[in-house]
Chains A and B, each alone.
Chain A
Amino acid sequence: MNPMIRKELRQRMRERRGWLLPSLYLVVLGAVVTFAYFVTTADRGRSNIQGSTVGVALFLTLAYSQLALLLLLVPIFSAGSITIEKEQRTLAGLLTSLLTSAQIWWGKFVSSLLFVLLLLVTSLPVLSMAFAFGGIGPWEIFSATVTTVLILGCMSAIGLYCSSAFQRSVHATAVSYATVIAITVVTTIVFFVRISIYESAHHLTTRGWYDIPLNIRAPMYVNPFFFLTASFAPPKQLYPAWITCAGVFIALGALAVALTLRNLRRRGDL
């Protein structure tokens, strides 16, 4: 086993946040699901409500709110991961040992991603509430989970890049959060502004996703929530939206990995 992974996991699980964050995460997620349940059932008559409707509503609420929460947590685990080694002046010791830059990166990546995945797994009991109502199949669970893991992996890689590029954890975390905001909020705003300009210029209302010109749709392919939405399509309809998003996120993650390794190999100013 990579010594970095063992070291990182040991250190992470000793921190107070090792147990505090999963607890808080479950409390928040439980509250969101409970709220969603009452909102879904309150508007409808007692007799008309379908179990599957509630199940789908709970599942979607859970999937999106889980992604939002995890996107907020990823920078905490990844962006400080290498800067902490610089701050406590231990990076030189790692780089002059026989650990390769790739091993150091992999140890940091696995430990930060595993902790986020731990949160994902702990939410399974909450997710099972949606199952109880029906309307959700294994495919939806599978594709949503794979998509969420892909997004979190990419964001962890970006967080690690920030961590390798900055000297202080606070700066790396701030830039990491700025990236999360840019790909979620900014892309959405850009998309809606451009679509409204396009519609008013052409005096039309776009009905389907593919009626929108590609240059207007493009920013949404780096939007994690759009990527998650694309994952709810049936298997045969994953192309092109989901596949394109997956390609974009994998490419972004790969670029972040390459830049992080380059930074680790070049850093002598430790």
Chain B
Amino acid sequence: MIDVEQIRKSFNGTRALDGFTLHVGAGELFGLVGPNGAGKTTLMKTLSTLLPIDSGTAQIGGLSVTAQAREVKRLIGYLPDQPGVYQDMSVREFLEFFADAFQLTGPRNRAAVERALERSGLAERSRDAVEQLSFGMKQRLVLAKTLLHDPKVLLLDEPATGLDPIARIELRAQLKELQAEGITILISSHILSDLEDICTQIALIGEGRNARDTEGHSVIQLRAPQARVRIYEIELLGDSVPAVNILKSVAGARLLESGVGRLLVEITGADEQVVALLRALVLGGADVLRFEHRALDLEARYRLAFQGRRP
């Protein structure tokens, strides 16, 4: 549904996107993570037709976001990182205006507004001025506005920023509902636990390019763990330096982190490789207290992918 191939975009000579590639299937809830300045917002803006691209291709539903921008706008709903509202309008007026802006007329307009009011939970406050709403309510209103024209693809740039925990839980639930309705969602966020909860896959972006985690993946499959590369946490009695030296001689083993009496090791290959590593450590004289497979959470994988790259 979303196909980005080798996309490049520069601002005054600075590359914001530098050959980024992304493929999101229909109906997926796809995450996008990376440090500040990685190019997430630029990517969202190019996909939402706000920014032209320098080179590469970007398509949504098979339509080019540059050459067929108007058709793409019918397909997408875009929620910017800091969405604005018209404070002096009432909630209903705000929704009616955007329903008009999406060329919904007559009964379709009224139905879309009523559905948006119901969806946002703001039906009882439809006559209130937008400025009287809390931040979380405004965010719900803007998301409801984004859904007025029944988009097939949602582009959400940091939608949870500034929301309190309850509002974040509600947002996650709403996004799961939207995915269940068949809407494809691309969401960028710094709140990794939220993404981990709702996303099926997460793309890593750094310095405008596809970043890779320690296992070499630029897209993390959250619901289908990779089998061939595994992470093991090893606890040792005493100094870990001898164990580190032993590790270097074991094929397929790579040290990710080392601390006092603790190692984090990546093992590539079959189970025999794991056994070989443990055997080498024990025979080499390392006092192994614990040797445990560790399924890394998103936060750990993010940290390993981006540590040392912070701008």
Contacts and interface: CB of A to CB of B under 8 A. Distances in A.
A21 interface: no
Given A11-B88, A96-B49, A89 B80 contact: yes
Interface of B: 11, 45-46, 48-52, 70, 73-74, 76, 78, 80, 82-89, 93, 97-98, 100-103, 142, 145, 149
Nearest to A3: B100
A45 interface: no
Interface in A63-116: 85, 88-99
Contacts of A88: 84-87
B101 A89 contact: no
Question: What 10 pairs between A and B have smallest CB-CB spacing?
Answer: A89-B84, A268-B51, A3-B100, A97-B101, A90-B84, A268-B50, A88-B84, A96-B78, A92-B80, A268-B45
7 contacts: A85-B84, A92-B78, A92-B83, A97-B73, A98-B70, A268-B50, A270-B50
Interface of A: 3-4, 6-7, 10-11, 14-15, 85, 88-99, 266-270
A203 to B, nearest CB: 56
Given A3-B100, A98-B74, A98-B102, A92 B50 contact: yes
A3 B80 contact: no
Contact of B82 (A6, A10, A89, A96): A89
A14 B88 contact: yes
Nearest to B49: A96
B83 A98 contact: no
A144 B135 CA distance: 51
Contacts of A3: 97, 100-101
B87 to A, nearest CB: 7
A89 B73 contact: no
Nearest to A268: B51
Given A88-B87, A268-B45, A98 B103 contact: yes
Contacts of B88: 11, 14-15
B48 A11 contact: no
Contacts of A269: 11
Given A6-B100, A88-B86, A90-B85, 12 more contacts: A4-B101, A7-B89, A11-B88, A11-B89, A89-B80, A92-B48, A93-B98, A93-B145, A98-B70, A98-B103, A266-B52, A269-B11
A93 B84 contact: yes
Contacts of A4: 101
Contacts of B83: 89, 92-93
